[in-house]
Amino acid sequence: MLTATRPAPAMTGPRRAPPRPHRRPSAGRAGRVLPPVILIANTLLIVAWWLAQGRATQFGSPAGDLAAIGQIGALLGAFAVLVLLTLISRVPWLERRYGQDRLNHWHRWAGITAVTLLTTHVIASTLAYAVATDSGLVRQIADFILYYPNLLAAIAGFGLLVLVAVTSARALRRRLRYETWWLLHLYAYLAVALSFAHQITLGRDLAGDPWARAYWIALFAGTLAAVFGYRWLLPIARAFRYRLRVAEVREETPGVVTLTLRGRGLHRLPVQAGQYFLLRFLLRDRWWKAHPFSLSAAPDGRSLRFTIKALGDDTVALQRLPLGTPVMAEGPYGAFTAARVTTGRIALIGGGIGIAPILAVLEDVDRPPGDVVILYRTRRREDAVLLEELAELARDRGHPLFVSYSRGPNPSPDPLRPDALRRAIPDIATRSVFVCGPSAMIDAARASLRAAGVPRARIVYERFGY
């Protein structure tokens, strides 16, 4: 059974930020529809261009069938690569609209599509040439390497893309350190660069058509400009502008610390409570490592606060950061903000360290007493990070807070079952519900909320991982 808790306030009260007006997405339904329309329009344009050049007439012979399949596979596969790069380019409009976790999910599917199409292109085109010239497969591959300009580089690029795809498979990804996976993932950019030239010089659909070639070059240039502009140039520019440094390192519980960063002009930073940053601490052995951390307090224009749990070697090291360490913050990212509220009443459900962005959102929203209900699920009382601050804020605002412990001398039943949710929050089906915590908890909460009558559109969540 869930029980309300009223622990004593902390010795130092929590930081308070005045409620700020929430910036809601302005494009509405049109903003959600536009990206798929652009995707479909470009796909149809590529296919139409291929058909207009008479490539479908190749069908009818073994060599012609294979050549046609290889050509359309190459065009659509290359376009899928550009799509997957765009999805992780951190374009603010896309990121705010869909959230990075959803974009990452689509990025993985775009990667599977791209590798499948490009593998089809490689196999079909090689077989087509071998059949047309009546040469063996090995001889044809040797001819490609020796006599076809830019094809050796394209073969190397394809190999790198396959390497990135294989190491992104979940079973293998779990075995890799984040840094190893991240460095391998950078090879995707090299793969695109190595493969580009042969499309222009050897691709029959581009080499003889200046309009098609210009269109293809514009697609590549626009994608790479978005990637390097938003993922590299903008974070560097913001690092110089805001000059963030570690101002405080405070232990919350064993293995959990709160980092406070301060800089200059932070009131100009377009950040909302609940969002996250990729933080890069500029020390000799850490400058190249970036990890995602959510805000654990609403931004006040003077500082940014993050509460971090030691989950690996890198997060353990963060608990001993020297004061004054310079920080490059890439972001803000994420759509886990009060701008996603679609009804007057709200329910906030946090598990473990996922309570950090929940606290930030609670601090940010301005609702009458009782309009916000908080449910905090953690292992034991001693593991309840930020509980005193959360309880004090809930008490000050007049919002019910329920805390549930899964272990210890008196563990509570699972509070995320549909019947338990309805007992604790009778009007749960009418509320906007924010959920943050481990992936398994998010999945369980989503299923229970749907069973309790909460529409899918009112469940706000984000996963943090790679």
The CATH fold of domain 243-333: Elongation Factor Tu (Ef-tu); domain 3 (2.40.30)
pLDDT at 320: 79
pLDDT at 312: 62
Instruction: Give the tens place of pLDDT for each residue, 250-281.
Output: 988 888 889 999 999 999 998 999 999 989 99
Q: Are 155 and 144 in contact (CB under 8 A)?
A: yes
pLDDT at 262: 95
What is the share, in percent, of the chain residues with pLDDT greater than 70? 88
pLDDT at 119 over 80: yes
pLDDT at 448: 93
Residue 280 to residue 287: CA distance in whole angstroms:
6
Residue 392 vs residues 5, 113, 151, 218, 353: alpha-carbon distances, Å: 10, 50, 65, 55, 18
Q: Name the band, by pLDDT with cuts 50, 70 and 90, for residue 207.
A: low
What angle in degrees, to the nearest 10, is found between the helix axes of 210-228 and 187-202? Answer: 170
Q: What is the mean pLDDT of residues 390-415?
A: 85
pLDDT at 7: 39
Q: Which residue from 233, 369, 252 is spatially nearest to 309, judged by alpha carbons?
A: 252
The partner residues of 279 in beta bridges, in order of sequence, read 291, 329
pLDDT at 8 over 60: no
Q: What is the mean pLDDT of residues 75-91?
A: 90
pLDDT at 11 over 50: no
Lowest-pLDDT range of 12-21, 219-228, 399-408, 455-464: 12-21
Residue 405 to residue 68: CA distance in whole angstroms:
61
Residue 428 to residue 368: CA distance in whole angstroms:
17
Instruction: Give the tens place of pLDDT for each residue, 21-45.
Output: 444 444 445 456 677 888 899 999 8
List, in order, residues 6 or more apart from 429 with CB less than 8 Å away: 452, 453, 454
Q: What is the mean pLDDT of residues 420-430?
A: 90
Q: Are 398 and 362 in contact (CB under 8 A)?
A: no
pLDDT at 53: 78
Q: How many helices (H) and strands (E) does the chain have?
A: 17, 12
pLDDT at 2 over 60: no
What are the structural domain ranges in the chain? 3-17+337-461, 53-237, 243-333
pLDDT at 105: 84
Instruction: Give the tens place of pLDDT for each residue, 163-206.
Output: 888 888 777 777 777 667 777 778 888 888 888 777 766 665 55
Alpha-helical segments (H) within 134-209: 137-147, 151-167, 170-173, 178-185, 187-202, 204-207
The partner residues of 327 in beta bridges, in order of sequence, read 244, 281
What mean pLDDT is reported for the chain?
83
Architecture of domain 3-17+337-461: 3-Layer(aba) Sandwich (3.40)
Would the CATH topology of 3-17+337-461 be identical to that of 243-333? no
Residue 253 to residue 237: CA distance in whole angstroms:
35
The partner residues of 306 in beta bridges, in order of sequence, read 259, 295
The reported pTM is: 0.75
